[in-house]
């Protein structure tokens, strides 16, 4: 994969998104990673984990900003509610 792999301990993460969202995201992601959306999301997850422990390069701070500024649903709410 195109992400930082810190060793043999990896997991497969399954998420559900609408088919149209996946198709659009995959088209965009292929511009940035040979393995498409999975590579981009894996790299994003790696950056987010690093950003939590030690603020670092701009890309890691950008990942944190994205997470903190997104309108996540509150506890017990469904997205879009």
Encode pLDDT of 48-66 as tens digits: 777 767 766 777 777 778 8
Instruction: Tell whether pTM > 0.75.
Output: no
Work out the angle between the directed axes of helices 58-69 and 37-53 (0-180°, nearest 10).
100
- With a pLDDT cut of 70, the percent of the chain lying above it is 79
């Amino acid at each position: 994969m195109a992400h930082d792999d810190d060793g043999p301990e990896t997991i497969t993460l399954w998420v559900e998104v609408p088919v149209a969202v996946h198709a659009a995201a995959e088209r965009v992601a292929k511009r940035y990673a040979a393995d498409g959306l999975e590579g981009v999301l894996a790299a994003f997850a790696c950056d987010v984990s690093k950003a939590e422990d030690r603020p670092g390069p701009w890309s890691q701070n950008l990942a944190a900003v994205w997470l903190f500024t997104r309108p996540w649903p509150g506890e017990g709410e469904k997205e879009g509610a």
